[in-house]
Amino acid sequence: TANSTFKNIYTKKINILGIGGLSTSNSRNSPDSWFKSLFVRKVDPRKDAHSNLLTKNEESNLYKIQFHNVKPDCLDSYNKLCEEVLPIIHADKYYPCELVGTWNTWYGEQDQAVHLWRYRGGYPALTEVMNKLKQNQEFSAYRKERGKMLLSRRNQLLLEFSFWNEPVPREGPNIYELRSYQLRPGTMIEWGNYWARAIRYRQHNSEAVGGFFSQIGNLYMVHHLWAYKDLQSREDTRNAVWHEDGWEEVVYYTVPLIQHMDSRIMIPTKASPLQ
């Protein structure tokens, strides 16, 4: 009957969300326990900085991500200018930094360029690069010319999660997805604990590129970078993970930690080591 069919569908959806087990758990028997489960669970106080608990070691790489909003009629000229300058800095050992990737946003914010840099040696390396580039006349000319093409720009300094692999150059063609999560303050450790277990579900097609969290800029911001052959491959890969035991639990417990999330589909430029 129609009623029985509806009941079966409803029961299945409840089980997928993880709510069906609420009545069977002693810890969730009170009438308002289901309501409390919608909010972030309390995290035990720590005696160390979150960054030290989440990174590989004290000498973890420092990353800088740049978002440049380009005038629509200047994007081609902007890309050409970056292709002439950025690879030179990347290849010059005088500067202790590496260009991890550079992209144009395809879906998401339009006419936007995204650059990701790595500084081996942390903040001292960042400061060294900054001071050396101030003395580089060619780079100063590049910045002046670039400024004519931009509407706005912003950046963040990031550290990498210990449970993600370090981003390495890869051959293309690929599209990239940058998923950015604004977390509730105080929940970064909990996010890291869940994703330390969850990352294994998302490596079957080598789609995991890198995972980072902010240190300066927008705080409690997480960036996950993924690579796919195309949009259909992205959809197939993301759908397949729902057949993995344990993935539903990860989603159920991490969604309440998020205040806001955003997704960018990006195309690598010619200068990008990640193709």
Average pLDDT for the chain: 84
Break the chain down into helix, strand, coil percent, rounded to 5. 40, 30, 30
> Domains in the chain, please, with CATH?
62-159 (3.30.70.100)
Total Cβ atoms within 10 A of residue 34: 12
| Residue 47, pLDDT above cutoff 80 | no
Cα–Cα distance, 75 to 191 (Å, whole number): 36
25 versus 203: which is more confidently predicted?
Answer: 203
Answer whether residue 189 shows pLDDT above 70: yes
Share of the chain above pLDDT 70, in %: 79
Task: Tell me the pLDDT tens digit for each residue of 79-133.
Answer: 999 999 999 999 999 999 999 999 999 999 999 999 999 999 999 999 999 999 9
pLDDT confidence band for 274 (50 / 70 / 90):
very high
R_g (Cα) of the chain, nearest Å:
22
pLDDT value, residue 17 = 39
Cα(105)–Cα(113) distance, rounded to whole angstroms? 6
Q: How many other β-carbons are positioned within 10 Å of the β-carbon of residue 10?
A: 10
- What is the three-class DSSP state of 252? helix
Residue 8 has pLDDT above 80, yes or no: no
Name the residue with higher pLDDT: 48 or 26.
Answer: 48
Q: What is the pLDDT of residue 87?
A: 96
Burial environment of residue 248 by CB neighbours within 10 A (0 to 12, 13 to 18, 19 or more): middle
Please write the tens of the pLDDT for every residue from 200-230. Answer: 888 777 899 999 999 999 999 999 999 999 9
Q: Rounded to an integer, what is the distance from CA 129 to the centroid of its chain? A: 24
- φ/ψ of residue 83, rounded to 5: -65, -25
Give mean pLDDT, residues 51-77: 83
The tens digit of pLDDT for each residue in 240-266 reads: 988 888 888 889 999 999 999 999 999
Specify the pLDDT at position 191.
94
